[in-house]
Structure 1
Amino acid sequence: MDRNVIICRSILENPAVTQRELAKELHVSLGTANSLVKECLEKNLITAGKKKDSYELLPKGQALLDKHRVDGAVIIAAGFGSRFVPLTFEMPKGLLEVFGERMIERQIRQLHEVGIRNITIVVGYLKEKFEYLMDKYEVKLLYNPEYSKKNTLATIYHARHLFYGKNMYVLSSDNWMRHNMYHAYEGGAWYSSSYIEGETSEWCLSYNKKGRILDVFVGGTDQWVMYGPVFFSKDFSSQFLPVLEGYYHLPGTEQLYWEHVYMDMLSGEAAKRLPDVPQAKQEIDMFINRRPADEVYEFENLEELRRFDIKYQRHSDNEAMELVARVFKVPESDITEIRCLKAGMTNKSFLFKIREKQYICRIPGPGTELLINRRQEKAVYDALHGMDITEKVVYLDGETGYKIAEFYEGAHNAEADNEEEIKKCMALVRKFHGSGLKVDHSFDLKERIEFYEKLCKAHGDVLFEDYSVVRQQMSELLERLEGLGHKKVLSHLDTVVDNFLILPNGDVRLIDWEYAGMCDPLVDIAMCAIYSYYNEEQTDRLMEIYFERKPTMEERFTIYAHMALGGFLWSLWAVYKAALGEEFGEYTIIMYRYAKNFFRKCSSIVL
């Protein structure tokens, strides 16, 4: 860190700056500050001012500052912010307000106050929400195509061209600074740091007397930790970025933060992993920027934000939170321990606690109103009410699809390769198949295939090269099944093992009845098989478990046919969802293979 730059900058910003203030800024003793000021006087960087106890910047001092002028800022805003659900289901974390001002706008405004207007925001999740900033503040947006799969190492990689040959701030959109800590000039690369008393799991720093960071380690007691903004000098970037680029291409680094690369450079690990990158072997300079207490805030979750800005205790401007408060007749402050659950293929969900009891709130995903009739879903839950088959639903809106249900503490999803658990699941399936319950709607495989087919074609094509041949094969199966004339009963249609909950007492519940309706009951056995990725042998065993006997040839044909049709249907569903920007990896191909493979098996069965 060039301390002369800090002294010249301080004098430029405030000619009457005192040596005590300089000592505080530089984290040195008053005597050292006095020596540094004398050094700047001797180098003709500054001179005594015309007013008493003031200084003036000389041309040499301004020339020194010009070499250290900040060229711009990159603000990282690509991530989802899972610890802020349900707020971040609707709004990126950086666009949340603190005391009536959006966090990212506060940082942009602070940058503008010191003359920094070259600002690029790296976006990903809900990227469209940031577009207005281009007009309001003349910022630029840079899209990170890997935001949902990789961490900030990849974010910096995609923005690396913005750093070479430049002095740049690296900011997080969801940080909040009480005071403006940015400057037009910086004396060297630094990482903002706050002191935490007691034990911490944050990334801790050790440093020498001049403030140069020597080591980064995770967790400690009474430590200065990485916290808040960062500054990359052009010298730092010229050494750091080639190493980061090398790490980006190494397998297993997808979930690393960019700080992992820096940590490895300090420890020597980077030199081992990248022996052909010269910069990995060099010592790298970054300094600690120790900030006063309560100046920098990185809100870890909604609970922390609530404590800081009490507005969020009363009213979060979030539809899901308002709904929960209304259903339970409590203020939003009573909704606690909120956390994101793994997003499903069609919905988003979060866990919360009220009065020491946990619940799950389901929020329908985008586009699901085209695919799922929520009134019909509600009719199914109403029909099954009180039978100890489904999860205990507290609230279900047949218009919006919002659902609140009790959370079963200690429950786990059934395992496809655990036969004892599968036996319990099939016993439950037999129970509602034989219950005699009826609803007014059916699940029609032929109609659903035609529906998804139209959706796919409206968004491009169905992609598979042999689609017309396989489509004709599916039509043949539909005709054969119709000829069998099987009775329709209430069926689930989404009997993936993940929808079966094994409770601590051994009971089973089947959740998520979104597709349920009157149908040939054997479709549930077929769907369980394909969702479990069962082969023919495993499927035959599943049939025996369900029937509690050997299946007849007609039953075997019916289940195989439904497996083929189900695979075909859900492959179309996945193609359509991919056209909307959601990707399910190999699932699409696996489902399509079920359609083809089990059509062939059906063709060999003579009834």
Structure 2
Amino acid sequence: MALTRKEFDILSTLATSPGDARAQAASPELDELRSMGLVSGTAITELGRKALEPYRVENAVIMAAGLSSRFVPVSYWRPKGLTSVRGEVLIERQIRQLHEAGITDITVVVGYRADEFAYLVEKYGVRLVNNDLYAERNNNWTLWLVRDQLRNTYVCSSDDYFAKNPFETYVYRAYYSAVYMDGPTDEWCLGVDENDRITSVTVGGKDAWAMLGHVYFDRAFSNTFVRILESIVRSPFYEEKYADELWETIFARNPDCLSMDMRRYPADQVLEFDSVDELVEFDPGFLSTVECPAIDNIVDVLGCERTQLHDFYPIKNGLTNLTFHFAVGTDEYVYRHPGIGTEKFINRTAEKDADTVAHELGIDRTFIYEDAEKGWKISRFVPNARNVDPLNHYEVSRAMALARTFHESDAKIDAKFDFYEDGLGYEQLLKSHGEIGVPGYEQLREKVTRLNEYCVADEGFSACFCHNDYLPLNFLIGEDGSMSVIDWEFAGMGDPGNDTATFIICSQYNEEQANAAIDAYFGRAATPVERRHFWARVVLGGWCWYVWALEKDAEGAGVGEWLDIYKSYAVTYVDKVLSWYEKNDTITA
């Protein structure tokens, strides 16, 4: 039996709040419900309860798989949904609110630090579904994993905080909760018709109602959404085009066939804490009590109080680490958190020694402290800094001259780095995952081995203090023009051609640009022997970082297109450089 909206409102209120005077007030709808036998006097009948059953909420899905990278540094150690706010764990508060509405069939989709959610099964009787691909795919994949659970279903995020319980036993139709945003906003803004049905979704807007908080799928919405989602997931272009999409993006493309209302909430009722700073505004005692090793480390090194910390936000992460910005008063800093599996590649004692030497030489003005055992580091933040522009000849010349400066400094650390030897080390790590079945790998390795023998035999290129990861992103140019070289993870005594080679590879230079960088290093046109040697380092560097990338990929922390970029410098140039050694071919500038 289909009910009108007003009939539903009266009937559901009588079912869940029988003493509510508003539902008992005289109205044509109440009279109609009495005439249908759904209400007797001001009480719902058994027939009325049967009429409500199609509107009963059957279950809930709580999405808790993601890293929540904006919630640094707390999310590095604990899933955001397990954060305690005003004495309550976020996801537990949400589960209890669902229970209060009679919703006990709850599925939690986990991924990042999944094991930490296991206690919820015994404590609250929830069901856990593991999303192993949480780092590679967005929440459309989360909903695909629970597609069989989508019926009359609440879909929530584990980190939402509802000041007042928004969940209901019966819901008339699908809706997305929304909060009004004064002024400009980056949130997803909604357009609606006169009945509050969502007609459009735009990313960003001004003075608008924006998606925020929970969402409710009714059966009609769920059935249509799952059909559309299946066509996307089964698409041959899924990984390329859709894997990184939010499910809301799919909804935004299909508002005509995915019918959903907007439900308005006061701004203080539905809260999402995108950053630690936002949470501290709501819960001023949060920083004083939260368990977070990074905060402990910062306080110990800088001698400050937890309550003095603010302005936390992630900085674009590199291929090996996670970093975030924070401030103490007006002083700004960067905290480096070691990435997954980096202990297999990085000698942190050597890195700390290199950081210290680079700081003493004035090459890295940002360094403050590093823990050689655990790999975390604190540095000064350079406001409005930019990286070296690899297409700016002046800046490249400065970078090359700077490399020559520390190469000739007589600085030494108790570590070495060699493209070939370290590449063999990465190869052994790679083989621990099984045989290397990459086509052409063994042939390339044989050529690289021959080239390394020639290169090592070259005279006049003694080992020196090298960065070995000397790419444009590892330079910071301040507003005053000062240049610092950061991230000395791979530093060690090595061939002077290593840094120029890495710069060439990571700048994706062609031959002409690469030769210009080599000339800039010497401050003049390189001799044939110098050019041949430095090009050998380019090939060896390409091979070394290629094997490193294969190992990272095998570990599940792949570096994307960089694997092919590294490989290309080995494959493209190995024969030419070998011919310079073996056939005494002419070396072209």
TM over 0.5: yes
Alignment partner for residue 7 of structure 2, among 4, 9, 16? 4
CA distance in 2, matches of 1:579, 1:530: 22
Give the equivalent residue in structure 2 for 1:220: 206
For 1:364, the aligned partner's letter is P
CA distance in 1, matches of 2:209, 2:453: 71
CA distance in 2, matches of 1:459, 1:149: 20
Contact 2:451 2:578 in 1 (8 A): no
Alignment partner for residue 317 of structure 1, among 291, 305, 308? 291
Contact 1:338 1:351 in 2 (8 A): yes
Does residue 46 of structure 1 match 2:45? no
Contact 2:420 2:544 in 1 (8 A): no
CA distance in 1, matches of 2:201, 2:457: 71
Contact 1:563 1:595 in 2 (8 A): yes
Structure 1, 393-402 or 463-472: larger mean CA deviation: 463-472
Give the equivalent residue in structure 1 for 2:501: 526
Task: Measure how far apart 1:139 and its partner are.
Answer: 2.9
Does residue 506 of structure 1 match 2:481? yes
Give 1:472-551 correspondences, 5 Å limit: 472-485=446-459, 486-551=461-526
Task: Measure how far apart 1:290 and its partner are.
Answer: 3.4
Structure 1, 578-587 or 475-484: larger mean CA deviation: 475-484
Note closer, same or farther for the CA distance 1:597–1:243 as it changes in structure 2 (3 Å cut): closer
For 1:105, the aligned partner's letter is E
Task: Measure how far apart 1:339 and its partner are.
Answer: 0.7
Does residue 259 of structure 1 match 2:248? yes
Give per-residue Cα distances to partners, 1:153-187, cap 9 Å, x unaligned: 45445543432xx2111111111123333233222
Give per-residue Cα distances to partners, 1:83-129, cap 9 Å, x unaligned: 21111122222121212332112222222333323322233434443
3-state SS in 2 of match to 1:460: coil
For 1:43, the aligned partner's letter is M
3-state SS in 2 of match to 1:83: coil
Does residue 434 of structure 1 match 2:419? no
- Extract structure 1 runs of 4+ deviating beyond 6 A: none
Give the equivalent residue in structure 1 for 2:176: 191
Note closer, same or farther for the CA distance 1:419–1:466 as it changes in structure 2 (3 Å cut): same
For 1:42, the aligned partner's letter is S
Give 1:105-254 correspondences, 5 Å limit: 105-144=92-131, 147-149=134-136, 151-163=138-150, 166-195=151-180, 202-205=187-190, 211-213=196-198, 216=201, 218-221=204-207, 224-243=209-228
CA distance in 2, matches of 1:574, 1:39: 70
Give per-residue Cα distances to partners, 1:506-551, cap 9 Å, x unaligned: 3321111111111121221112112222233322221111112222
Give the equivalent residue in structure 1 for 2:307: 333
Contact 1:227 1:296 in 2 (8 A): yes
CA distance in 1, matches of 2:433, 2:449: 23
Note closer, same or farther for the CA distance 1:507–1:208 as it changes in structure 2 (3 Å cut): closer
Contact 2:72 2:324 in 1 (8 A): yes
3-state SS in 1 of match to 2:322: strand
Give per-residue Cα distances to partners, 1:216-242, cap 9 Å, x unaligned: 555333x55433211111122334444
For 1:542, the aligned partner's letter is A
Give the equivalent residue in structure 2 for 1:589: 564
Give the equivalent residue in structure 2 for 1:294: 268
Q: Which runs of 5+ in 2 are unaligned?
A: 585-589
Structure 1, 571-580 or 589-598: larger mean CA deviation: 589-598
Give the equivalent residue in structure 1 for 2:587: none
CA distance in 2, matches of 1:210, 1:599: 68
Does residue 14 of structure 1 match 2:1? no
CA distance in 2, matches of 1:244, 1:465: 36
Contact 1:247 1:261 in 2 (8 A): no
Give per-residue Cα distances to partners, 1:486-505, cap 9 Å, x unaligned: 31111111111111222223
Note closer, same or farther for the CA distance 1:104–1:582 as it changes in structure 2 (3 Å cut): same
For 1:120, the aligned partner's letter is T
CA distance in 2, matches of 1:382, 1:40: 80
CA distance in 2, matches of 1:460, 1:140: 35
Does residue 354 of structure 1 match 2:323? no
Contact 1:378 1:396 in 2 (8 A): yes
Task: Measure how far apart 1:6 and its partner are.
Answer: 3.1
Note closer, same or farther for the CA distance 1:136–1:567 as it changes in structure 2 (3 Å cut): farther
Does residue 89 of structure 1 match 2:82? no
Give the equivalent residue in structure 1 for 2:369: 395
Contact 2:364 2:484 in 1 (8 A): yes
Q: Which runs of 5+ in 1 are unaligned?
A: 24-29, 49-54, 267-279
For 1:44, the aligned partner's letter is G
Task: Measure how far apart 1:451 and its partner are.
Answer: 1.6
For 1:220, the aligned partner's letter is K
Give per-residue Cα distances to partners, 1:281-302, cap 9 Å, x unaligned: x5x5433433456332222321
Note closer, same or farther for the CA distance 1:577–1:256 as it changes in structure 2 (3 Å cut): closer
For 1:8, the aligned partner's letter is L
Note closer, same or farther for the CA distance 1:309–1:437 as it changes in structure 2 (3 Å cut): same
Contact 1:6 1:186 in 2 (8 A): no
Task: Measure how far apart 1:81 and its partner are.
Answer: 1.6
Structure 1, 460-469 or 210-219: larger mean CA deviation: 210-219
CA distance in 2, matches of 1:469, 1:187: 66
Note closer, same or farther for the CA distance 1:243–1:412 as it changes in structure 2 (3 Å cut): same
CA distance in 2, matches of 1:594, 1:573: 14
For 1:483, the aligned partner's letter is A
3-state SS in 1 of match to 2:360: coil
Task: Measure how far apart 1:196 and its partner are.
Answer: 5.1
CA distance in 2, matches of 1:178, 1:200: 22
Task: Measure how far apart 1:348 and its partner are.
Answer: 0.6
User: How many percent identity over aligned positions?
Assistant: 36
For 2:82, the aligned partner's letter is L
CA distance in 1, matches of 2:253, 2:262: 17
For 1:227, the aligned partner's letter is L
Does residue 563 of structure 1 match 2:538? yes
Alignment partner for residue 462 of structure 1, among 436, 446, 465? 436
CA distance in 2, matches of 1:98, 1:424: 50
Structure 1, 172-181 or 237-246: larger mean CA deviation: 237-246
For 1:230, the aligned partner's letter is V
Aligned alpha-carbon RMSD (Å): 2.7
Structure 1, 140-149 or 297-306: larger mean CA deviation: 140-149
CA distance in 1, matches of 2:211, 2:28: 30
CA distance in 2, matches of 1:366, 1:237: 37
Kindly tell me the number of residue pairs found equivalent between the two proteins.
Answer: 573
CA distance in 2, matches of 1:118, 1:286: 23
Contact 2:366 2:484 in 1 (8 A): no
Contact 1:65 1:185 in 2 (8 A): yes
Give the equivalent residue in structure 2 for 1:423: 397
Task: Measure how far apart 1:364 and its partner are.
Answer: 0.9
| TM-score (normalizing by structure 1) | 0.87
Task: Measure how far apart 1:135 and its partner are.
Answer: 4.2
Give the equivalent residue in structure 2 for 1:99: 86
Task: Measure how far apart 1:345 and its partner are.
Answer: 1.2
| TM-score (normalizing by structure 2) | 0.89
Note closer, same or farther for the CA distance 1:286–1:527 as it changes in structure 2 (3 Å cut): closer
Give per-residue Cα distances to partners, 1:133-166, cap 9 Å, x unaligned: 3444343334456644554445445543432xx2
Does residue 36 of structure 1 match 2:29? yes
Contact 2:16 2:169 in 1 (8 A): no
Does residue 75 of structure 1 match 2:66? no
Give per-residue Cα distances to partners, 1:420-460, cap 9 Å, x unaligned: 21111111111111212222322234432232121111122
Alignment partner for residue 62 of structure 1, among 49, 53, 60? 49
CA distance in 2, matches of 1:205, 1:510: 46
